[in-house]
Chain A
Amino acid sequence: MLKTYVCAACEKVILTADNVASLISLFNKIIITAPPEAEVPKNAVAPKEWAIFSIFDTEPGDELKEYTHFAQILYPDQSQFSEIAKSKLRIELNKRAQVNVQVPAFPIGQVGNYTVRVWIEENQRTVVGPIEFKIELEIIRQVHKAP
């Protein structure tokens, strides 16, 4: 059975040739500055790459199973942002399984706490998770400067 070892959001994941991961800038809050009167539409995004990175401990026998990893991002009102990222987990005997979900932008349509939800299914049955953590979004309005 898989066990969660790491599940976090970070700005960048650097992988060596043999897949050793370094996580750069783990975060749980995003602060954006927007023009004073600009309306931020509900579906707006800030193009900024980030990642949801997970590692799972395995045990003998897991390499024979078909696991699927899911990652979902929810707005503060719990509606879903973008589609659920779904990927097959490739497991090798006596090795940890790691998944790097790269996200090309951060949603900015609602201020508050976004939820990142990760889980693993085997035969459409959840076997790990859901693991959840929050990322807070704060919007600061740029202050008018006197001429």
Chain B
Amino acid sequence: MRYRCPVCMYSQLPYPPHDYHICPCCSTEFGNDDANFSYKQLREMWIAGGANWFFGRAPEGWNPWMQLLKAGLSAYVPRLVLDLRVQSNVIVKPGGIIYSGPEFIVRPAA
């Protein structure tokens, strides 16, 4: 059984988030830190401090923003991008038609 930290949303806590257990991701000590601050306040403090992994080495590929996004907390993810667009490198020559057959053949327009 794994539990989710209500502060940073790390979903692999080996213990429930209370009884003075400490989240290895955001360092929240449940029963102590959350007695003085709300989860939201603690989350904002964690993010303001760099959203770093707290204890030992982070799991491979760990990303704090993906962790928050997967929990539906997209509002906390820094917006660094003004515009985003996708492209495909499929090319059809001007005037050409792609026929599907045994092979794809590009035939120039007459």
Contacts and interface: CB of A to CB of B under 8 A. Distances in A.
B83 A45 contact: no
Interface in B21-77: 59-66, 69-70, 74, 77
A51 to B, nearest CB: 12
A66 B63 CA distance: 30
A142 B79 CA distance: 15
A1 interface: no
Specify the main secondary structure of chain A where it touches its partner.
strand
A134 to B, nearest CB: 10
Contacts of A83: 59-62
B83 A29 contact: no
Contacts, number: 84
A74 B4 CA distance: 26
B86 to A, nearest CB: 4
A34 B85 contact: no
Interface string A31-72: 111110010100111111000000000000000000000000
Contacts of B79: 47
B61 A33 contact: no
B77 A45 contact: yes
Given A44-B65, A104-B70, A27 B86 contact: yes
Contacts of B69: 45, 47, 104-105
B61 A84 contact: yes
Interface string A121-146: 00000000000000000000010000
A38 B80 CA distance: 8
B46 to A, nearest CB: 14
Contact of A82 (B61, B77, B81): B61
A31 B60 contact: no
Interface in B78-101: 78-89
25 contacts: A25-B86, A28-B88, A30-B86, A31-B85, A33-B83, A34-B80, A34-B81, A34-B82, A40-B80, A43-B65, A45-B63, A46-B80, A46-B81, A47-B65, A47-B69, A47-B74, A47-B77, A79-B61, A80-B61, A81-B61, A82-B61, A83-B61, A104-B70, A104-B74, A105-B66
Interface of A: 11, 25-35, 38, 40, 43-48, 79-84, 104-108, 142
Interface of B: 59-66, 69-70, 74, 77-89
